[in-house]
Chain A
Amino acid sequence: MAERKSALTDEIRVLIGVTAERVEANLWGIEQEDLRRFTQAIMDPDPRYWDAAFAKTTRFGGIVTPPIYCTYLSRKTPPGADDPITRAFLENPNSDGIGGVERAQTRGSLPPIPTDLKRILNAGNEIELYKYPTLGDRIYSQAKIADVKERVNKDGSPMLIITIETTYTDQNGQLLCILRASTIRR
């Protein structure tokens, strides 16, 4: 019986610890309208997100965002960019809406993990919180390939668990939160 080939290759191992450039995560800083849409989508009516007079009386001293709001900002398509949705469906009319919609390699992004394991599942998250951003704050992120582990599926096929650690700071360098997101590739 042939020995199973490891999915955790040397080419992948050398990527562990690779850190991307620190980049600004959003275009215009923390905005109230985007905050409204987000807080309604997580069904959180906390007045600290929208009632400026009340928020001023809290320990935060003003309007703040939900705990990990700042981690979603960099996913948005900047204005003037080539429309990724139109492009994805022109290239593949049956696009899943995410594969072809992915942005091209940009500043602040990590190198792709070179593997034939294409199916991606969200495995889990580890979050540390230090401060909530407030309106007008500018958010910066820096990503790192924190770990890659190999595991075996029930059917004997290999899978990789990839952990990306992203650190979020504000315009003053104040640490906001750290997100470690693990995905399964199989």
Chain B
Amino acid sequence: MVTADELRKKPQLHYDDVAVGQSMPPLVIGPLTPTHLFRWSSAIENWHRIHYDQSFAIYHDGLPNILGQGSWKQSIMPRYLKDLCLPDGWPWKVSFQHRAMIVPGDTITCWATVTGKREQEGLGYADLEVGMRLQNGIESCPGTATIVLPIRGGRPVPYPFVPPKSA
């Protein structure tokens, strides 16, 4: 897990320092417990019992256990990309599928690999393959993303973000 102090002092990743094939620093979260899942359900008021009622999940829905929420994974992925871009880059786009289930006991590793890079209108765009891998190597959330990084000596990434005209 990353700490508040690390995020406060995080050095900027520049476009100049990114190469195709490069792996980004991973984010590891877990092991997840039923309490983590329940905290998320409560925070967003998702009362679906398969996320916190083990008897219901197993005996009614035939699941192996209570399940980690897709809505949680949906927030973790952009959070990971946000961390990669801090302090002055921008996590512009991400898309991913929900594949393998997450259950209590699982530890997830968010990962990203650079698949392409290009300069557009003075900004550095890096295309990524992303995912959320379980401790047994199974991919739970495969997808792609595009992040925007400042170029050394170049203009700042605008905030609010303005996409390139050719996008």
Contact = CB atoms under 8 A, between A and B. Distances in A.
7 contacts: A44-B79, A46-B86, A85-B47, A96-B50, A122-B98, A123-B98, A129-B91
Interface string B1-32: 11110011000000000000000000001000
Contact of A47 (B7, B39, B78): B7
B44 A72 contact: yes
Interface in A59-79: 59-60, 66-69, 72, 75-77
Contacts, number: 127
Interface of A: 37-38, 40-48, 51, 54, 58-60, 66-69, 72, 75-77, 85, 94-98, 101, 121-131, 174-175, 180
B159 A68 contact: no
State the 7 A-B residue pairs at the shortest beta-carbon distance, nearest first.
A122-B70, A131-B160, A67-B78, A126-B95, A124-B97, A45-B4, A41-B43
Q: For this complex, into which size category does the number of interface residues on chain B fall? A: 35 or more
Contacts of B160: 130-131, 174-175
A124 B95 contact: yes
Contacts of B159: 59-60, 131
A131 B163 CA distance: 12
Contacts of A68: 74-75, 78
A41 B47 contact: no
B87 interface: yes
A112 B9 CA distance: 47
Contacts of B79: 42, 44, 66-67
B150 to A, nearest CB: 11
Contacts of B29: 43
Contacts of A59: 87-88, 156, 159
B90 A98 contact: no
A46 B95 contact: no
Contact of A76 (B1, B45, B60): B45
A122 B92 CA distance: 22
A124 B130 CA distance: 13
Contact of B40 (A41, A101, A121, A124): A41
Nearest to B90: A129
A38 B43 contact: yes
Contacts of B76: 42
Contacts of B120: none
Contacts of A131: 159-161
**B46, B47, B60, B98: which has the most chain A beta carbons within 10 Å?**
B47
Contacts of B94: 125-127
